[in-house]
Amino acid sequence: MSLMNDTGFAAAVWHGAGDIRIECRPRVPLKPGEVRLKVSLCGICGSDVHEFRDGPHAIPVATPHAVSGEIAPLVIGHEFAGEIIEAAADVDLAPGTRVAVEPEYRCDRCAACRRGEYNLCVAMGFAGLMGSGGMAEEAVLPSYMLHPLPDTVTDRQAAVLEPAAVALHALRRGRVRAGDTVAVAGAGPIGLLIAQLARIAGARRVIVSDVSDARLAMARSLGATDTVNAASGDLATVANGVDVAFEAVGTQATLDAAIASVRKGGRVVFVGLCSGRVSIDGFDLVNREVEIIPSVGYRDVYPDLIGMIAGGLFDPSRIVTREIALASAVTEGFARLATPGQDVKILINPSPKGARS
Ligand SMILES: [Zn+2]
Ligand SMILES: [Zn+2]
């Protein structure tokens, strides 16, 4: 099914919880600084599934987002790549250029943006959550989000760059170095990519826990040295005092497991998004001088990741378990990920069956 025509294109549009529709969106003229992409692939993120299951969480429904100026209903999807088909006159990128999208909005004026910490922008947000994204045949984006791709980076790898960026930023926040021992609580896409990148960074041991044996098997194939099924085992017992632990789910149980897994003076990087408050044993943290380090989004990691992929050091597309057409995004994508199963990363192909130019 293609809804693309002279004036519009097909897109997965979030209207409300349980209500994502594949519909035709009008093609709007570009504003200065903007680029139009033909999307090659777009991944479904855990946060997209949250918006589908019981949103809105991040999607603006009452007030338009400060940078995007948009409000629901909007095109969902922030993990995507594509090819430039049109660029505003002031943009220095030519049509035909393949690009990865770093979907964080930035205002460029606030103190965080001026420090270069654009992931902490006062108007922080993501194209595909706080503004129109890439689960569509086309997307319009500010050009600062785009990173040109060498031919040696595939569309599949490019579509998984965004979760890999979350993982690499988390590793940098945790100051993981060669020889370190690492624990990862949760083997979803982010936990798996953290485990894979930790090994590439030279971590000597990487212990991963999850309740899915299929995901733990994938963790081992990506380089995890030990895995623990949290339904029957205990991450902290196996980890036995690692240097750095990552919480990659966003629950009390996984945060507890991560904190219990680090040595005295160890670091816990908190990556998962909790929907409410969590409690922490302050006495234990002080006594063991455990550092809690939150990590959100990413900054300055795309060029390094693209170089690692192009150089054959890293392949984030190994977490992809399924590629589906845009028309079945809800039935074969969101619905599948909203219930526990074998899938890790599902990619949406808006132009399947060789229709891509
Ligand atoms: Zn994501
Ligand atoms: Zn800013």
280/308 same-domain check: no
285/317 same-domain check: no
With 60 as the cut, is the pLDDT of residue 354 above it? no
| Predicted local confidence at residue 3, as pLDDT | 61
2 within some domain: no
pTM of the model: 0.96
- Nearest by Cα to 78 from 148, 159, 9, 175: 159
Ligand 2 centroid to 100 CA: how many Å?
Answer: 21
pLDDT tier, 23 (very low <50, low <70, confident <90, very high otherwise): very high
Ligand 1 centroid to 290 CA: how many Å?
Answer: 28
Q: For residues 267-285, give the mean pLDDT.
A: 92
26/144 same-domain check: yes
* Percent of the chain residues past pLDDT 70, beyond the cut: 97
Mind listing the pLDDT tens digit for each residue in 106-126? 999 999 999 999 999 999 999
273/338 same-domain check: no
| Predicted local confidence at residue 356, as pLDDT | 42
C-alpha to C-alpha distance for 135 and 129, rounded to whole angstroms = 11
354 within some domain: no
246/133 same-domain check: no
Ligand 1 centroid to 194 CA: how many Å?
Answer: 14
Ligand nearest to the CA of 109: 2
Q: For residues 319-343, give the mean pLDDT.
A: 93
271/343 same-domain check: no
For the residues of 148-217, what is the DSSP string, one character each? E--TTS-HHHHHTHHHHHHHHHHHHHTT--TT-EEEEE--SHHHHHHHHHHHHTT-SEEEEEES-HHHHH
DSSP symbol at 126: B
305/287 same-domain check: no
pLDDT tier, 4 (very low <50, low <70, confident <90, very high otherwise): low
| Predicted local confidence at residue 259, as pLDDT | 98
| Predicted local confidence at residue 276, as pLDDT | 83
With 80 as the cut, is the pLDDT of residue 2 above it? no
Q: For residues 133-162, give the mean pLDDT.
A: 98
122/202 same-domain check: no
249/314 same-domain check: no
* Percent of the chain residues past pLDDT 90, beyond the cut: 93
For residue 232, how many other CB atoms are within 10 A of its CB?
Answer: 7
- pLDDT, mean over the chain: 95
357 within some domain: no
Whether 222 contacts 184, CB under 8 Å: no
pLDDT tier, 59 (very low <50, low <70, confident <90, very high otherwise): very high
Ligand 1 centroid to 166 CA: how many Å?
Answer: 8
Ligand 2 centroid to 105 CA: how many Å?
Answer: 8
Residue 241 belongs to what domain range? 175-294
The count of structural domains within the chain is 2
1 within some domain: no
Mind listing the pLDDT tens digit for each residue in 153-191? 999 999 999 999 999 999 999 999 999 999 999 999 999
CATH number at residue 342: 3.90.180.10
Ligand 2 centroid to 297 CA: how many Å?
Answer: 14
Ligand 2 centroid to 71 CA: how many Å?
Answer: 19
134 within some domain: yes
Q: For residues 266-287, give the mean pLDDT.
A: 93
Please state at what angle helix 213-221 crosses helix 189-200, rounded to 10 degrees. 20
93/195 same-domain check: no
168 within some domain: no
Mind listing the pLDDT tens digit for each residue in 87-101? 999 999 999 999 999
66 within some domain: yes
12/65 same-domain check: yes
Q: For residues 185-210, give the mean pLDDT.
A: 98
286/312 same-domain check: no
| Predicted local confidence at residue 355, as pLDDT | 45
Whether 200 contacts 191, CB under 8 Å: no
CATH number at residue 200: 3.40.50.720
326 within some domain: yes
Q: How buried is 335 (Cβ within 10 angstroms: 0-12 exposed, 13-18 middle, 19+ buried)?
A: middle
